[in-house]
């Protein structure tokens, strides 16, 4: 018998967008599970996008290992995975649109040229010249962006003062994350971006790009970051606590607790499928901690 498709609400499409820089760890599992639960709670779809934009930072095999780990946690994309390495034409077209509207320009300034301005670009340093310029998005003075984050509350940033003109294509070739994420969130019809709070202050840049490109602005929810014992973000490159796909339940329970959900709700689940069913039934978005960062929990007994 064919399984009936889960009815989904056309008003909600979420996503998880890892970079293949190492194994899936507790922090990324939290973002994956949090975005999946919110999507399911709203009867929406959940897509996976592989942000393989930056080959020097990537670890061979990491993308496939992350996808296998997600599958072991029962978290599988509702549509084929979108690989950013295949999306150059779309990024190029967006860049040309920005240029055509006067929002993007070639820039020969090096990091050293910008050191006196604290690394912030406001105007090109006269005479700065190097082969293969970067392309920057022009942020006029006074470009203030504010948005209502579903978890962090209202967040505002004066993008010109805090960030300045930012790179959309790097001098050494790769597309910048900020451009690629905006183009792909629109291409995939993402209505709700749920991710770690380390990206909260990137969001105003992304909103400026959406406005300049005439793209819809998704809703945003930034989950608290998990910090290691020294108070640093558990980054994939550090591989702080890689989760074990061969024994997914302990990490799944830890991520569930970090989302502020009642630990007992998953009692009795002996396998991932059962745990996710219980998680869907008991998930309360209002219980997600409204904080920017929180310490790693102790290991589950
Ligand atoms: N690729 C980013 C990361 O792994 C996430 C980007 C996003 O969710 O917008 O941290």
16 Cα nearest atom in ligand 1:
8
Percentage of residues in the chain with pLDDT exceeding 90?
80
Instruction: Give the residue, 239 or 54, on which the prediction is more confident.
Output: 54
What pLDDT, on the 0 to 100 scale, is given for residue 271? 97
What pLDDT, on the 0 to 100 scale, is given for residue 50? 98
For residue 209, give both structure tokens: 């790009």
Q: Is 19 in the pocket of ligand 1 (CB under 6 A)?
A: yes
Q: Is 199 in the pocket of ligand 1 (CB under 6 A)?
A: yes
Mean predicted lDDT score pLDDT of the chain = 91
Name the active-site residue from 87, 195, 236, 253: 236
Given a contact cutoff of 8 angstroms between Cβ atoms, the answer to whether 169 and 179 are in contact is yes
Q: What is the CATH number of domain 13-100+178-295?
A: 3.40.50.620
pLDDT digits (tens, 9 = 90+) for 177-224: 999 999 999 999 999 999 999 999 999 999 999 999 999 999 999 999
Q: Is 226 in the pocket of ligand 1 (CB under 6 A)?
A: no
State the Cα–Cα distance between residues 193 and 204, nearest whole angstrom: 13
Centre of ligand 1 from the C-alpha of residue 128, in Å: 32
Domain-by-domain residue ranges, the chain? Answer: 13-100+178-295
Active site residue 236: yes
Percentage of residues in the chain with pLDDT exceeding 70?
92
Taking the model in full, what pTM does it have? 0.93
Which alpha helices (DSSP H) does the chain contain, by range? 26-41, 62-72, 88-100, 111-114, 159-162, 177-187, 203-213, 248-258, 272-282
What pLDDT, on the 0 to 100 scale, is given for residue 184? 98
Averaged over 286-295, what is the pLDDT? 90
Q: Is 184 in the pocket of ligand 1 (CB under 6 A)?
A: no
pLDDT digits (tens, 9 = 90+) for 109-132: 998 899 999 999 999 988 877 778
The radius of gyration of the chain from alpha carbons, rounded to an integer in Å, stands at 20
What pLDDT, on the 0 to 100 scale, is given for residue 234? 62
pLDDT band at 10 (very low <50, low <70, confident <90, very high): low
What pLDDT, on the 0 to 100 scale, is given for residue 9? 55
Q: CB-based contacts of 298: which residues, under 8 Å, 6+ apart? A: none
């Amino acid at each position: 018998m064919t399984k009936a498709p889960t009815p989904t609400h056309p008003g909600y499409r979420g996503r998880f967008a890892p970079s293949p820089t190492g194994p899936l760890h507790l922090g990324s599992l939290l973002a994956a599970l949090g975005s999946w639960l919110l999507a399911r709670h709203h009867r929406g779809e959940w897509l996976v996008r592989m942000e393989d934009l930056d080959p020097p930072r990537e670890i061979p095999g990491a993308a496939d290992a992350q996808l296998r780990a997600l599958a072991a946690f029962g978290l599988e994309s509702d549509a084929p995975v979108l690989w950013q390495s295949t999306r150059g034409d779309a990024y190029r077209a967006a860049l040309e649109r920005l240029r055509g509207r006067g929002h993007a320009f070639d820039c020969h300034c090096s990091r050293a040229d910008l050191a006196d301005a604290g690394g912030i670009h406001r105007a090109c340093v006269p005479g700065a010249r190097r082969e293969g310029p970067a392309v920057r998005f022009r942020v006029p003075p006074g470009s203030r962006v504010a948005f209502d984050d579903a978890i962090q509350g209202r967040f505002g940033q004066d993008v010109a003062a805090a960030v300045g003109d930012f790179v959309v294509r790097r001098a050494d070739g790769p597309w910048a994350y900020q451009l690629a994420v905006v183009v792909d969130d629109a291409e995939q019809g993402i209505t709700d971006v749920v991710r770690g709070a380390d990206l909260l202050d990137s969001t105003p840049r992304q909103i400026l790009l959406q406005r300049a490109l005439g793209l819809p602005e998704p809703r945003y929810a930034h989950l608290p970051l998990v910090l290691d014992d020294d108070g640093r973000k558990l980054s994939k490159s550090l591989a702080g606590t890689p989760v074990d796909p061969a024994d997914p339940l302990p990490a799944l329970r830890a991520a569930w607790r970090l989302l502020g959900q009642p630990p007992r709700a998953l009692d009795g689940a002996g396998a991932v499928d059962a745990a996710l069913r219980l998680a869907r039934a008991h998930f309360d978005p209002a219980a997600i901690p409204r904080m920017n960062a929180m310490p790693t929990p102790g290991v589950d007994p």
